Amino acid sequence: MCDRPMLPKQPVYGINDWYVAYGNNSAKSIKEQTAAMSELVTSTNNKAFSVIDDGWQVADDFSRANDKFSDMKQVADDIKKLGMKAGLWTRPLIAKKSESLTLLAPKIAGRANTDEIILDPTIPENLARVKHNISLYKQWGYDLVKHDYSTYDIFGKWGFRMTDTFTQLGWKFNDQSKTNAEIINTLYQTIKDSAGKMSVIGCNTISHLSAGMFDINRIGDDTSGKEWARTKKMGVNTLGFRLPQHQTFYAADGDCVGLTKDVPWEKNKQWMQLLAESGSPLFISAQLDFLGTEQKNAIKLAFAQAATVQPTGEPLDWLTNQWPSKWKLNNRVV
C-alpha cells in the first residue's frame, strides 16, 4: 500500500504543551514543563521530545517569535540542556496582514476570517516562504516540526463537514493547471525537503498523500485536556480504527494525553497506557500541579514503554464497539 513509507528511526514520545496551555504559553512555561517532565524520562537511548505548540509566534508571521518567547533558538537550546529534543508547531499557509492580494487564496466560506489570511499554495513565492520557515526552524535547532491546518486552509472546511462537497463551489487557485492532489503533494514535498533530518508531524493532512512524505501523521481530530468525552471520541475511536496504518503509511499519532484536573485520572491513565503500549507515538500535556506520586509513576512507566519498539496494538471488540475497550497490547489482552 506504501512501498517506501517515511518512518521514524526510533519510537516517538514526549510532551506537548497544547492541552494544558491552549496557546497561553511562554518560554518560561516551556522550560518549566520540560524540566519537570524530563525527570520522568528514563531511556538513555531514545530522548523524548518537548514540542512547543501554538502560541509562540507573531500571529501572522511564523518566522518570528512573539514577546513571550523572543529568541526561539535559545528556547530550543534550553530544551536540549534539559535532556529533551525540541519540537515546534507551525501553520505554513498563514499570510501576513500586509500581504499583496496577488499572493492570497480567494476568500470563501470558511476562509474569510480577516485575522487568518491564507496564502495561495500554487504560487511559487508562497512555497518559497514555506521552505524558508521550515528551514529556519532547523537553523534554530529544532529536531521536529509539526505543521497544521493545511487541509482546512486549502479547502475552507474541516473533514467532518466535507459531506456533499469538500469546499465551496465556484472558486479557483492561481495555477489552474494542477489538480488538488498535485497542489497538496507539492506543498507536502516542499515541507519534507525543507525539513531535512527533522522529524515531521503532519496534522490536518490528507492520509494517503502523507504516506511516504511524513514520518508521523496525526490520524484524528484533537483530543482534550478539558473533557474525557472528546478524548474518547477523537482519540480512542481514531486509534481503534486507524492503527492498522501505523508503520505501514507512517507512525500513526492518535494525539495527546491531556493530563489535567478536568479529566478523570482513571480514564486518562487508560488512554496513556493504550498509547504507550500500542507502539504509536505518545505525547503528554501535563498540568504540573495535578501530578502526584501516582501520576508521576504512571508517566515514568509510559515513557519507558513508549521509548522502545512495541508490537502494534490490536483492538479486539472493534466490530461491536466504536470506542474499543478490549485490546491486545504486548501480546496480552487488556
**Is 5 a member of any domain?**
no
Contacts with 238 (C-beta within 8 Å, 6 or more apart), sequence order: 219, 220, 221, 254, 255
% of residues, the chain, pLDDT over 90: 93
Report which of 202, 110, 90 is spatially closest to residue 154, judged by C-alpha positions: 110
**Is 244 a member of any domain?**
yes
Q: Are 51 and 88 in contact (CB under 8 A)?
A: yes
Cα torsion 82, 219, 331, 293: sign = positive
**Is 7 a member of any domain?**
no
Q: Which CATH number fits the domain that encloses residue 122?
A: 3.20.20.70
> Does 110 score more than 90 pLDDT?
no
Q: In whole angstroms, how far apart are CA 235 and each of 125, 146, 305?
A: 37, 18, 19
**Is 4 a member of any domain?**
no
- Report the pLDDT value the prediction gives residue 257, as an integer from 0 to 100: 99
Q: Are 18 and 256 in contact (CB under 8 A)?
A: yes
| Domain of 20, in residue numbers | 13-333
| Whole-number Å distance between alpha carbons of 264 and 268 | 6
- Report the pLDDT value the prediction gives residue 91, as an integer from 0 to 100: 98
pLDDT, average across residues 10-30: 98
**Is 55 a member of any domain?**
yes
**Is 120 a member of any domain?**
yes
Split into its structural domains, the chain has a count of 1
- What is the pTM for the complete model shown? 0.96
pLDDT band at 89 (very low <50, low <70, confident <90, very high): very high
> Does 114 score more than 80 pLDDT?
no
**Is 1 a member of any domain?**
no
- Report the pLDDT value the prediction gives residue 104, as an integer from 0 to 100: 96
> Does 116 score more than 90 pLDDT?
no
CA 247 to chain centre: 17
How do residues 259-314 score in pLDDT, each as one tens digit?
A: 999 999 999 999 999 999 999 999 999 999 999 999 999 999 999 999 999 999 99
**Is 3 a member of any domain?**
no
- Report the pLDDT value the prediction gives residue 113, as an integer from 0 to 100: 76
